[in-house]
Amino acid sequence: MSRGENTRKRIRELLGYADDGFLREDEVIRTEGLTKCFGDFTAVDHISFSVNKGEIFGFLGANGAGKTTAMKMLCGLSKPTGGRAVVAGYDLHFNSDVKRLKKVIGYMSQKFSLYENLRVWENIRLFGGIYGMKDRDIAEKTDELLQRLDLTEQRNRMVRDLPLGWKQKLAFSVAIFHEPRIVFLDEPTGGVDPATRRGFWEMIYDAAERGITVFVTTHYMDEAEYCNRVSIMVDGRIEALDSPAALKQRYGASGMDEVFRMLAGRAKREE
Amino acid sequence: MGRMKDFKRFMSFVGKEFNHILRDTRTLMVLIVMPVVMIVLFGFALSTEIKDVKVAVYDPSRDAATSRLISQIDASEYFTVTAFIDSEEGVLEAFRSNSADIALVFEDNFYHRAVHDSDGRLQVIVDGSNTNIGSMAVFYVSSIVSSFQKELAQEAALNQAAAGGSSSSAEAVPSVQIHTSTRMMYNPQMKSAFNFVPGVMGMILMLVCAMMTSVSIVREKERGTMEVLLVSPVKPFSVILAKAIPYFVVSAFILLTVLCLSVFLIKVPISGSLMWVVLVSLLFILVSLSIGILISTLVAKQEVAILISGMVLMLPTMLLSGMLFPIESMPKVLQWISWCVPAKWYIDSIKVMMIQGLGIRYCLDAVLILCGFLTVITGLSVFKFKDRL
């Protein structure tokens, strides 16, 4: 198409990264030997996995197992030091690809990620604007969103005055407001009671049904049960990857927390 | 098209930052009230009205003229004679014990020398550590002395007429002359008391720009919103720029307030060109903003940002910029360190333009050095920012 696109293609061919069908048709993420080193320390050690379109993919691991680092690479925050990863058709090896990737993904961090001293509608408008949505679309979708969340009355309230559960629901809604292809959730439900967490997961299911792939890290094992497939990271490597049911069967465990304890118990790395 | 979109995105960011600042009323009040309070406080503490300045007198001649002059000075509302001392060395003692602010030293045989030799000498010694009293006191003493001189001259003329009466021509009237000389102790250059105005300007602008900008960027890092912005298609550079713009506006407003207050309330004249004062101030604001941004790329916690801008910026700004202590009298090492303090160059150039009333070319070196600071610091922070991604 444009000259930039052509150059990009040429560079890829030269480096042996031609559009080689690395990413299969029904996949949105595929990594092979993806690695991140900080000096001598290998935070993520040759991980290879793939995530299917519309899937809810759980990314489990103890603190320090490398899941946040892996996720940061996948959403373009941090550059891999080795291996290959293609996300939503964009190769993380190329800075130009990462720029494009950022438009089609959503992100919600483990810290609460809205602006506390902006009003509800101002937060929505700001993030809609950041993702280049048109003013009219933003206005329309804002009304619809607030209605769905039952927040219409609260639209002029400062976000800091909302209860935590509402804040997190709002943050998730804002993260998928621009209809991304993938949404990355980094421990989204920290500090929330189980009932609110279930409500939150209903929203995740809704999003997945609309075709948004959900990539979620968590350390609540009841949440792991909600995922289509989970991977468990130990010491920077993926130790197991399958559906919760299959994992439980393989390890003869009654719940995911038992599976997790068995695998995480092998960790040698200090926190 | 794409560019329009980028611009709109950018403006919504700027709007968000303005919201942050305007809604944080407490901080905003501090930002606006602090410079006002500082200027007003300094201004009134330095009120140019002097009253009952303590005078020590050394009068070896003890004749009619000196005692009349002394009682005239004592009678004026500005002065109170507090001590008669019996040697010139006593002056220092009087200053040290704070029993005098100025000292009058007459020469021996004053009356005779004044009337017959036209050369009566009177030395006014001023304790220069109180810059404000100093210049005003000298002014009032000399006006009292000069009217006393006229008085003496008339009397001398009358006496002469009474005594001889032979000639009434002007040449025959003895010209009575009292030569007043002034000596400053402790502050020989007699730096203007208004020096604090550039100092306050430098400090406030540094504080607002560097501290507020760094804290507000670091706050986003701490709260996790920065991560969300970095995942989004927004260019990191425009996030930072959007942060800098509102603080630039706030600083410009503060600059205007301080300038108005100093001109209209405490009547510091802007003797030089107002345009250059403003332009150099804006340059300094940019330097401070870039320092704030650099700090924010280096630290991850708001407290650390405050600590760094407080310790690493404020202290040197106050101590090494010449605002409180004259740099010339510091040890060489400290003088070299003071060259690394941007505020020093700013305060220097504002002093030159505002107080001394000289043109921009007299502080061109300071302005160029500020430009250098701006380039280097901006370069460093852009480099640091890319480095992280």
Could you tell me the CATH number of the domain that includes residue A240? 3.40.50.300
Tell me the pLDDT of chain B averaged across its residues. Answer: 81
Q: Which of A101, A117, A174 to probe by mutation at the B interface, max B CB count within 10 Å?
A: A117
- Taking residues B258-272, report their average pLDDT: 78
Provide, as residue numbers in chain A, all residues whose Cβ is less than 8 Å from the Cβ of B231. Answer: 75-77, 102, 105, 107, 184
* Banded pLDDT at B164 (limits 50, 70, 90): low
pLDDT tier at A259, thresholds 50, 70, 90: confident
SS3 category, A47: strand
Q: Is A96 on the interface with B (CB under 8 A)?
A: no
Query: Are B12 and A130 a contacting pair at CB < 8 A?
Result: yes
pLDDT of residue B265: 79
**What is the Cα–Cα distance from B106 to B123, expressed in whole angstroms?**
6
Q: Look at chain A and report how many structural domains it folds into.
A: 1
Q: Which residue of B has its CA nearest to A71?
A: B231
Distance CA B125, CA B95 (A): 10
Chain A residues with CB under 8 Å of B230 CB are 77
The yes-or-no verdict on residue B189 having pLDDT over 60 is no
Please give the share of chain B, as a percent, with pLDDT higher than 90: 8
Is residue A40 exposed (0-12), middle (13-18) or buried (19+ Cβ within 10 Å)? Answer: exposed
- A94 in any annotated domain: no
Q: How far, in Å, CA of A169 to CA of A161, rounded?
A: 14
Which of A88-97, A170-179, B269-278 bottoms out in mean pLDDT, i.e. has the lowest? Answer: B269-278
The residue-averaged pLDDT of B278-303 equals: 90
Beta-ladder partners of B126:
B102, B184
Question: Beta partners for A160?
Answer: none
A122 inside domain: yes
pLDDT above 90: residue B212: no
Q: Does the pLDDT of residue B273 top 50, yes or no?
A: yes
Q: Which two tokens stand for residue A185?
A: 């959730």
A12 within domain boundaries: no
* DSSP conformation class of A157: S
Q: For residue A236, is it within any domain?
A: yes
CA distance B250 to B301: 24
At residue B170 the predicted structure's pLDDT band, cuts being 50, 70 and 90, is very low
Whether the pLDDT of residue B171 is over 50: the answer is no
Q: Is residue A193 assigned to a domain?
A: yes
Nearest CA in chain A to B18: A118
DSSP B114-169: HHHSS-EEEEEEEETTSHHHHHHHHHHHHHHHHHHHHHHHHHHHHHHHHHT-S--S
- Per-residue pLDDT band at A12 (split at 50, 70, 90): low
SS3 category, A228: coil
Nearest to A102 among B13, B24, B232 (CB): B232
Q: Is residue A107 part of a domain?
A: yes
**Does A60 score more than 70 pLDDT?**
yes
Highest-confidence segment of A121-135, A251-265, B49-63: A121-135
Higher-pLDDT residue of B75 and B167 is B75
Mutate to test the interface with B, among A95, A99, A109 (most CBs of B within 10 A): A109
CB burial of A227-255 (b: ≥16 within 10 Å; e: otherwise) equals: bebbbbbbbbbbbbbeebeebbeeeeeee
Residue B262: helix, strand or coil by DSSP? helix
What's the pLDDT score for residue A194?
81
Residue A22 lies in a domain: no
Q: Please check the confidence at residue A262 and state whether its pLDDT lies above 90.
A: no
Q: In whole angstroms, give the CA distance from residue B100 to residue B95.
A: 5
Ordered domains of chain B (ranges, CATH): 2-45+193-388 (no CATH), 53-185 (3.40.1710.10)
**A219-248 average pLDDT score:** 89
pLDDT at residue B87 tops 90: no
What pLDDT is stored for residue A14 in this prediction?
65
List the single residue in A105, A109, A126 with the smallest CB-CB distance to B227: A109
> Which residue on chain B is closest to A98 by alpha carbon?
B233
Mutation pick from B232, B237, B302, B389 vs chain A, by most beta carbons of A within 10 Å, is: B232
How close is the nearest chain A Cα to the Cα of B21, in Å? 10
Give mean pLDDT, residues A228-257. 90
The pLDDT tens digits of the residues spanning B301-317 come to 888 888 888 787 778 77
pLDDT of residue B131: 64
> What is the structure's pLDDT at B330?
78
Does position B39 have pLDDT exceeding 60, yes or no? yes
pLDDT band of B163, cuts 50, 70, 90: confident
Taking residues B136-159, what's their average pLDDT?
85
pLDDT score of B111: 85
Region B189-214 average pLDDT: 76
Domain hosting residue A257, numbered range: 53-79+103-264
Residue A200 lies in a domain: yes
Task: Write the CB contacts of B334 (distance below 8 Å, at least 6 apart in sequence).
Answer: B320, B327
Question: What would the mean pLDDT of B360-378 be, rounded to a whole number?
Answer: 90
A125 touches chain B (CB under 8 A): yes
pLDDT (0 to 100) of residue A31: 93
Q: Helices marked H in chain A — which ranges?
A: 3-14, 67-74, 95-103, 120-130, 135-149, 164-175, 194-209, 221-224, 244-250, 256-264
Q: Are B24 and A118 an interchain contact pair (Cβ–Cβ within 8 Å)?
A: no
pLDDT given at position B354: 79
The stretch B259-288 carries a mean pLDDT of 85
Report which listed range, A159-173, B4-18, B107-121, B352-366, is most confident.
Answer: A159-173
pLDDT confidence tier of residue B174, bands split at 50, 70 and 90: low
- Model-level pTM? 0.72
Tell whether the model's pLDDT for residue B379 goes beyond 80.
yes
pLDDT band for B165, please (50, 70, 90 cuts): low
**For A114-143, how does the pLDDT look when each residue is reduced to its tens digit (9 = 90+)?**
898 899 999 999 999 888 888 899 999 999
pLDDT tier for residue B2 given thresholds of 50, 70 and 90: low
Phi and psi at A82, nearest 5°, equal: -165, 165
The residue-averaged pLDDT of B155-170 equals 67
Candidates A98, A109, A88; CA nearest to A186 is A109
Count the neighbouring beta carbons within 10 Å of the beta carbon of residue B260.
11
